[in-house]
Structure formats: C-alpha cells, structure tokens
Amino acid sequence: MCPAPLSANAPRGFIIPIGGGEDRLKERHIHRRFVELSGGAGADIVVIPTASELETTGQDYNRIFRDLGAAQVDFLPITRRADCENPRYLEMLDRATGIFLTGGNQLRLSTILGGTGIAQRIRRRNAAGVHVAGTSAGASIMSEHMIAGGDSNSSPVEGAVSLAPGLGLTNAVIIDQHFTQRNRLGRLLSASSYNPFLIGLGIDEDTAAFIGPDGVFEVVGSGTVTVVDASELTHSSMWEARPGQALTLLGLKVHVMGEGCRYDLNGRHAFAPDAHAAFCTLPNDWTRSH
C-alpha cells in the first residue's frame, strides 16, 4: 500500500511517529509541536483511538489538545469496520488540519481500518498537506510494512518479527516503538533484513520523528531514534536461516540520534543538531564531490 498521490496545491503533510509513553502532563513538547504544526489556535484535530480498548483514550487526548490551544478537537469512536464508512466521520477528516492515532494494539487498528474509507481518507488528507501523528501502535501502522509483533530482548534471528500491511503513509521506513525500553533492536534488525530498501526507525518512549514533506525528519523528545540503514548490506543469511537461527548481517549502518538530530531519508544522511541547515547551504560542487 503506497502513499496517496500528492496534491498539486500543497506539499505532503508531516508524518509523526511517536514511540509511546509520551509526556502528557508536564511540558508535552511532542503534542505541543503537533498542535502548532496543525494550526495552533486554528487547529482542527481529529483523534482516532481505535487501537485502544479503553473507553477514556479518545477523551484523554481531546483534553490534551484542547489544553494546548487547539480550536477544535474531536475523536472518532470507531470500534468496528462498519463505523469506517460513517459519512460524518469522513467529513470530520475532510476538515481536519491534524489527525492523531492513539496507542493500543496495531493489529486491532489495522484489521478495523485497513482497506476502509477512513484509511483511504487519511492517506489522501496527508497527501493534501494534513499532518498525521501516531503513538505506539499508531506509529507502527503508518508505514507500508508494519511490525505486527515479535520478540523483545532478542538478538536478530529468523522468525523474530512478524510483519503485516500498514496504513501506507510512507513506503520508505519500517517503524518500531517503545524501542530502548523494551530492547527491540534485534527485531528491528530482523525486519530490516527482509528488504534492505527499508530504513528501520526504532523510536524510544517520549520521543518522535517529525518527518517532513522533504523526507527529512527531526528527533523531538527525551529519548533517541535509532536508524538502521541496510542499503549497503554486503551479506545476509536471512534467506537460508532456519527458524530461530541467529542471523548474519554484514555492512549495516546504525545511527543513534537524540533531540535535534536530523536524518535525510532520501539521501540516507544523518546530521547532528544544527548541522543539517549548514549542509544544505554548502555549494553544489561540495555535495557532488563528497
């Protein structure tokens, strides 16, 4: 499932995967920046709490975004596939300036939303310039290929991760969340080895990757984003490994990036805080020769 075609009138909106466990009570840097991106005092935010089975989840995020100054906040109480064809919900997405997917269970989210009018509308609205954020399960589902489950606290082994189709807002990355807290490096490495084209993003709790329309993301929050770039992989044993067998992966490139760092998904370059702006102002002759 690929991203929707771009609108001729606006750049694609930001895609903002959050690693879960974000600060909801104090500074709320991630939520605050999402509201500002979505229009600040003029923001119209729609929350989709489908991944969660808690009845209070939608109301909790409504309160957070209203406290941060959003003009309009609503949540869609979608609990079954039939709800996804509700014309009123589609109209609410049509007027939204920001869409937020809560945490919970990503398979619950994908099996209820997948292939429905709501999923199609989210992709089209993002292509038209609307910003889409998601936390935990809501982060995992953003990519075309979604990590549906797998082993934490494990080295990369065959069978350590299971994949499923995601929402398809981006086809450049595969996302894992609660990353350092649940020691998920092994399963992200396993996921990246299936197709080295994909860039693995392991996002810590209270941390987000603000992915802009230019394909550059900035790290925001108190943790790190781990980038796994397998594009220069020289050897992988994935295709011949037996179930449970440890993998050999040679030539991987891994970056661990704290707040303010940036990463160019197209050029596959990592930048320290403030370095990206300096890089972009260098003469073209320099960029061609390095």
Q: Which residues are marked as active site?
A: 136, 178, 205
Measured CA to CA, the distance from residue 279 to residue 17 in angstroms comes to: 25
CB contact at 8 A, 138 and 103: yes
Looking up tokens 């440890």, which residue turns up? Answer: 246
Measured CA to CA, the distance from residue 244 to residue 32 in angstroms comes to: 43
Q: Give the DSSP H/E element, type plus range, for residue 193.
A: helix 185-194
Instruction: Tell me the three state secondary structure of residue 105.
Output: coil
Measured CA to CA, the distance from residue 44 to residue 72 in angstroms comes to: 5
Read off the amino acid at residue 65. F
Name the β-bridge partners of 145: 165
Report DSSP state, residue 9: S
